[in-house]
Amino acid sequence: MRKTQVYLIGAGAGDPELITQKACRALQLVDVVLYDYLVHPNIVMMATRAQKICVGKKKGAHSTQQPNINALLVSHAKKGHIVARLKGGDPMIFGRCGEEMAALFSEGIPYEIIPGITSAISAPTYAGIPITHRDCSHSVAFVTATRANDIETIAFPNADTLVMMMSLLRLPSIIARLAEVRPLDTPVAIIESGTYASEKIVTGTLETIVGLQESAQLKPPALIVVGKVVDLRSQCRWRDHLPLRHQRFVIFRPPHQQSALVDGLSLWGAEVVTLSLNHIVPAPDCLAPVDLTAITWLVFTSDNGVRAFFSGLLNKQCDIRSCKNARILAIGPKTKAALMAHGVTPDLMPEVATSDGVIATLKQTLSTRDHVLIPTSSEADDALLDLRTTGATVTKIVGYANHAPNDIQVMLDWIKQSDTMIFMNAASVKRLHAHYPKMSEHLAISIGPKTTAELQRCGVDQVLESKEASIDGVIDIALAHEWAGTKPNGHDKVGA
């Protein structure tokens, strides 16, 4: 019996939520990912344990030629690696998948193909252009003209709608050919970066589109839609009510802490790039020297601290009953939720979800008879040790180490200058500042005053601070900033 060694995967057009469940499952299995430049970072990072190799495939800037990509697939597979070839859109539509299949077949390497949602469908859909319609489009054809002689030799299909991929740089020649066979008032749309926050759209006709494009200067990746369906966009712009549809945010959180914030922003139309700067390594022996029966207060500052503590209990071969003399304080709803997942309800939560809030809450309660235990990270500061001024014994234990991931430079290369950065703690600010010198050029959203102070210390002047230290507070400040009109959209360049 032979197992699959290579997966040829369609990653969809851009929006990372358009990837299939089967592709997600395969990416969890692979050792090596060969990915195209246009694949969304969130999809590449699904291959959590894989070596990641960018093989280019950006128009005008191919970093790796197709024969070399074929050789890489074969080479890694022969080493016994499970390999993913991650392509934008669908691998079988102008994706040169046939050449890769032939290379694998010739070497006897078993492979699977996982289809993706092609940009020929999804980009017009996101732009509000239905490529078929009962009244005006009974047929649609996908066309490409990537080489100079394609324009002279191509026989345009006699379809109601044409979707032309990878052809923008040859627009004048294409339009001249189309004008020979279609009326000059035929509607045309150009869509740049379809499904992304950076989407730009120009609409016109065969007669006007070249001049409009000369003014707008849209760039690849882009596709061209030709046909009466383009005129339907005026009544089919289904994303216009989403206020964050032209905003891209970058968040710096571990995978298990990303979903609520990503989902919340995505519901308002945002594109969210998730880059985890934290490689969390548990310290299973963290509770070994601690007499749990002597603890009178357990203070949890994060959900990671909760997980580390219960991992320590398991390693110590005991459970929460060992802390029978302790009351429990938790900072913030996420920390509370992590405790309740273990069947524990906190006794106390400070009104202000910060270290200062904890200190203000406990200072009037603690005495010399108390012993406070704080499970936290290797990067946590010593602010809570100020509780010792009450006479209480305060012990901070490192429940987990927080390291930079090995592929951090790959992640940082994905950041764009126009991105808004979201920081949920001061530690992520420090880590990014150590690796990314352009931090001060970005607008930042901070979860609270401590994170804001660290951002300012790192030279970031444009900071929006959440009114409450929660995911909802962060989303609210992003929406308020957009509704205030301080970040112009301007992505629908020209209409005709």
CATH 3.40.50.10090 domain residues, the chain: 248-278+405-483, 280-403
How would you label 359-397 residue by residue, b for 16+ Cβ within 10 Å and e otherwise? bebbeeebeeebbbbbbbbebbeeebeebeebebbbebb
Q: What does each C-alpha distance from 487 to 264, 447, 464, 479 come to in angstroms? A: 20, 20, 13, 11
C-beta of residue 405 within 8 angstroms of C-beta of residue 426: no
Per-residue pLDDT of the chain (496 residues; tens, 9 = 90+): 578 899 999 999 999 999 999 999 999 999 999 999 899 999 999 998 899 999 986 555 557 899 999 999 999 999 999 999 999 999 999 989 999 999 999 999 999 999 999 999 999 999 999 999 999 999 999 999 877 677 777 888 999 999 999 999 999 999 999 999 999 999 999 999 999 999 999 999 999 999 999 999 999 999 999 999 999 999 999 999 999 999 999 999 876 677 889 999 999 999 999 998 877 888 999 999 999 999 999 999 998 899 999 999 999 999 999 999 999 999 988 899 999 999 999 999 998 888 889 999 999 899 999 999 999 988 888 999 999 999 999 999 999 988 778 888 889 999 999 999 999 988 889 989 999 999 999 999 999 998 999 999 999 999 999 998 889 999 999 999 998 874 444 455 545 3
Length of the chain: 496
C-beta of residue 411 within 8 angstroms of C-beta of residue 335: no
CATH 3.30.1380.20 for domain 248-278+405-483? no
Annotated catalytic residue within 15, 45, 57, 334: 57
Q: Which helix (H) or strand (E) holds 68?
A: helix 66-78
Q: What does each C-alpha distance from 304 to 189, 252, 331 come to in angstroms? A: 48, 15, 12
CA nearest 375: which of 468, 469, 286, 443? 286
Is 57 noted as a catalytic residue in this protein?
yes
Annotated catalytic residue within 45, 165, 166, 411: 166
CA nearest 478: which of 357, 470, 411, 459? 470
Please state which of the four CATH numbers 3.40.1010.10, 3.40.50.10090, 3.40.50.620, 3.50.50.60 is assigned to the domain occupying 280-403. 3.40.50.10090
Q: What architecture does CATH give domain 121-235? A: 2-Layer Sandwich (3.30)
Phi-psi region of 184 (alpha: psi -120 to 50; beta: other; left: phi over 0): alpha
Q: What does each C-alpha distance from 262 to 70, 272, 283, 324 come to in angstroms? A: 35, 6, 28, 37
Is 439 noted as a catalytic residue in this protein?
no
Annotated catalytic residue within 15, 36, 370, 419: 36
Say which CATH topology domain 6-117 has: Cobalt-precorrin-4 Transmethylase; domain 1 (3.40.1010)
Is 36 noted as a catalytic residue in this protein?
yes
Q: Which helix (H) or strand (E) holds 432?
A: helix 426-435
CATH 3.40.1010.10 domain residues, the chain: 6-117
Task: State pTM to two decimals.
Answer: 0.82
